[in-house]
Amino acid sequence: MKNTVITGSGSFIPEVEVENNQFIENPFCMNDGSQIQNNNQEVIEKFQEITGIQARRYVNDNQSCSNIATISAQRAIESAGIDPEELDMIIVAHNFGDVIKGSNQTDIVPSIASRVKHDLKIENQFCIPYDIIFGCPGWIQGLIQAHIHIQAGEAKKCLVIGSEVLSRVVDPFDRDTMIFADGSGAVVLEGKEETEKRGILSYAAVSHTLNEKDFLYVGESFNKFGTDATKFIKMNGHKIYSYALNEVPKAMKYCLDKINLPLEHINKILIHQANEKMDIAIVKRLYRAFGIKKVPENIMPMIIERLGNSSVATVPTLYDMIKKGLLPKHQINDGDKFVLASVGAGMNINCIAYQA
């Protein structure tokens, strides 16, 4: 049988660490332009209580989405021990492309994947680079697409990257600015002819757009007294929370039910690092959906506390940190089964069941 297996991983965590107290002087406003009456210390404390975020990472002034994508790609390729010329496909998930310091303009021509291929100095004309714009679940969707190509015999080795620089598309007048971060993560996926089943076991993806399309969007600044027409990333946090809580466990259960895999056999759940309170609630509801009252300890590793929400980069970064031994309480050993899951703009949800 042909298995789709992760053979290498890499990530890039930006050097600039921004603590919550660095927002203490920010002029936070409501969406109508009125200034939030609570002092910023109270705003920050409430924010940290809900999200679990104490700090986040931003790129340096001279770095961009494609730059850091290349770094994580190089690390994944080195980890896999392959020649980059062997790659059949480079898939990059992002949402805003390259945005230079001091600008808010999205630059995705050529594609970020094409830039990564160029920066990796790959000459192979049959290595096809392309981007995915799929909200925060983009990296997992890239894995699903690579898996389909591998199983169809159209590719043998694929590089899948999630890279985002959100620090350049956030509104300084919006307290949601504190959620977002920068980062990049990547894996090499390979098709392996083996006698025992492992790698990607099952996947699921769903989309809701009828009433949910604008839960995450690009909109005007909350500063209503300026003349700047620049738009920034915006979200309706309450609606996203409710949507995720209701729909993500369903998608995850569907993914496992497709192969009759009991939740008790899952060793880890690697979920998009969006909001600590929300992620905990999602996992609790997933276990209840399987008739299990108590969530096992250490089932869900979290890195959002110090790294924030870097969108498509959160899950591959989490995976890479575990594989590199950077989260001492968490390991993924040969034979372990784990779940990758994410939810984000679209609204889109996806999930993969995987056996190491």
Please state which of the four CATH numbers 3.30.70.3270, 1.10.150.110, 3.40.1390.10, 3.40.47.10 is assigned to the domain occupying 199-355.
Answer: 3.40.47.10
Q: How does pLDDT run along the chain (356 residues), one tens digit per residue?
A: 999 999 999 999 999 999 999 999 888 888 877 787 778 888 899 999 999 999 999 999 999 999 999 999 999 999 999 999 999 999 999 999 999 888 878 899 999 999 999 999 999 999 999 999 999 999 999 999 999 999 999 999 999 999 999 999 998 888 899 999 999 999 999 999 999 999 999 999 999 999 999 999 998 888 877 666 788 899 999 999 999 999 999 999 999 999 999 999 999 999 999 999 999 999 999 999 999 999 999 999 999 999 999 999 999 999 999 999 999 999 999 999 999 999 999 999 999 999 99
128-132: strand order across its sheet:
2-12, 182-193, 157-165, 89-93, 128-132
> How far is it, in rounded angstroms, from Cα 100 to Cα 305?
27
> How far is it, in rounded angstroms, from Cα 36 to Cα 55?
22
Angle between the 112-119 and 65-80 helix axes, to the nearest 10 degrees? 50
Tell me the DSSP string of 232-268: EEEE-HHHHHHHHHHHHHHHHHHHHHTTT--GGG--E
> How far is it, in rounded angstroms, from Cα 160 to Cα 187?
6
Contacts of 96 (CB under 8 A, 6+ apart): 65, 106, 164, 165, 166, 168, 169, 233
HSE (side-chain half, CA atoms, 13 Å) at 194: 10
> How far is it, in rounded angstroms, from Cα 334 to Cα 191?
17
- Residues 264, 268, 274, 278: is their CA dihedral positive or negative? positive
C-beta of residue 226 within 8 angstroms of C-beta of residue 47? no
Question: According to CATH, where is 3.40.47.10 located in the chain?
Answer: 2-193, 199-355
Closest CA to 204 of 261, 273, 128, 133: 261
Q: How distant, in Å, are the alpha carbons of 30, 117, 193, 222 from that of 112? A: 34, 9, 31, 30
Q: Give the CATH H-level superfamily of domain 2-193.
A: Thiolase/Chalcone synthase (3.40.47.10)
C-beta of residue 36 within 8 angstroms of C-beta of residue 130? no
- The residue with tokens 């931003």 is 58
> How far is it, in rounded angstroms, from Cα 318 to Cα 302?
8
User: In the structure encoding, which two tokens stand for residue 74, read together?
Assistant: 């190089």
Reduced to 3 DSSP states, what percent helix, strand and coil does the chain have, rounded to the nearest 5? 35, 25, 40
Phi/psi at 303 (5° precision): -125, 5
**211 residue type, one letter:** N
**305 residue type, one letter:** E
